[in-house]
């Protein structure tokens, strides 16, 4: 009986310590992503208002013309949107950007361009950049040949040129942040700059949208100098709060730059 009790107490202690460790990690690194440099883009947040720790350094990424934030103390934000499809929220987002004279980059997939030519033209006419989010939104880290990698990007370029009559700006964002160093190298060889992000939040579930309060808690508390912010244009919450969010960031002393300015 003593042996059984001892075993039970050992299991209980292990369970308690494991749970404590998990809660400690959640407290100090909320929404931390355990990743390697050859898998998913990952961030660990520490002190509010400071850049997060990423799973690749500024210096490593710079070799491949890749960015996740600007290394600066200036209160500047680079606003980006990922657009996999259109569900009626982009016009409100564009209205808010226009009101505040804020430039943004929209990383779009091929079918988005094909199905929403007027929105693409409006983005361009209002001074925004349309970036490349691949045609089919695959896991690009699983694509090993340059030919296949290039096709995912070139098919988007072709759709954009068909709609606008102009060449697409060679800005690339890996779908879901999945990448490896070969991908970054191939993108650079194709003339692309790759952009990850230093601030995002869970805004992509259409049927489980964050509340305004939840959105502001993440986006105001974690904003930092030089941030590349990723929002999804499919988010109803983002469409509803963007005007107020931009106002709040401005009141905090932030200005807005374009990714073109970041790389110049």
Active site residues per annotation: 82, 232
Rounded Cα gap, residues 259 and 264, in angstroms: 9
Residue 252 in tokens: 């905090």
Q: Break the chain down into helix, strand, coil percent, rounded to 5.
A: 45, 15, 40
Are 170 and 133 contacting, i.e. CB atoms less than 8 angstroms apart? no
Beta 43-44 vs 53-54: how paired, if at all?
antiparallel
Contacts of 255 (CB under 8 A, 6+ apart): 75, 76, 77
Are 263 and 67 contacting, i.e. CB atoms less than 8 angstroms apart? yes
Are 128 and 96 contacting, i.e. CB atoms less than 8 angstroms apart? no
Rounded Cα gap, residues 60 and 54, in angstroms: 11
Are 226 and 48 contacting, i.e. CB atoms less than 8 angstroms apart? no
């Amino acid at each position: 009986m003593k042996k059984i009790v001892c075993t039970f107490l050992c299991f209980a202690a292990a369970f308690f310590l494991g749970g404590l460790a998990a809660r400690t990690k959640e407290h100090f690194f909320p929404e931390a992503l355990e990743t390697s440099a050859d898998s998913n883009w990952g961030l660990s947040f520490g002190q509010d208002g400071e850049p997060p720790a990423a799973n690749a350094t500024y210096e490593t990424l710079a070799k491949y013309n890749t960015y996740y934030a600007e290394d600066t103390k200036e209160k500047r934000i680079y606003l980006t949107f990922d657009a996999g499809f259109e569900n009626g929220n982009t016009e409100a987002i564009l209205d808010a950007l226009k009101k505040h004279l804020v430039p943004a980059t929209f990383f779009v997939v091929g079918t988005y361009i094909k199905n929403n030519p007027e929105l693409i033209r409006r983005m361009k006419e209002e001074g925004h950049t349309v970036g490349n989010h691949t045609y089919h939104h695959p896991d690009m880290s699983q694509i090993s040949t340059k030919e296949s990698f290039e096709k995912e990007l070139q098919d988007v370029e072709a759709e954009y040129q068909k709609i606008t009559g102009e060449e697409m700006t060679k800005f690339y964002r890996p779908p879901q942040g999945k990448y490896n160093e070969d991908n970054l190298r191939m993108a650079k060889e194709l003339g692309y700059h790759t952009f990850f992000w230093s601030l995002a939040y869970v805004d992509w579930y259409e049927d489980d949208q964050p509340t305004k309060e939840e959105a502001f808690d993440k986006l105001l508390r974690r904003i930092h100098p030089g941030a590349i912010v990723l929002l999804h244009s499919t988010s109803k919450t983002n469409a509803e709060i963007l005007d107020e969010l931009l106002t709040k960031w401005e009141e905090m002393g932030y200005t807005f730059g374009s990714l073109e300015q970041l790389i110049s």
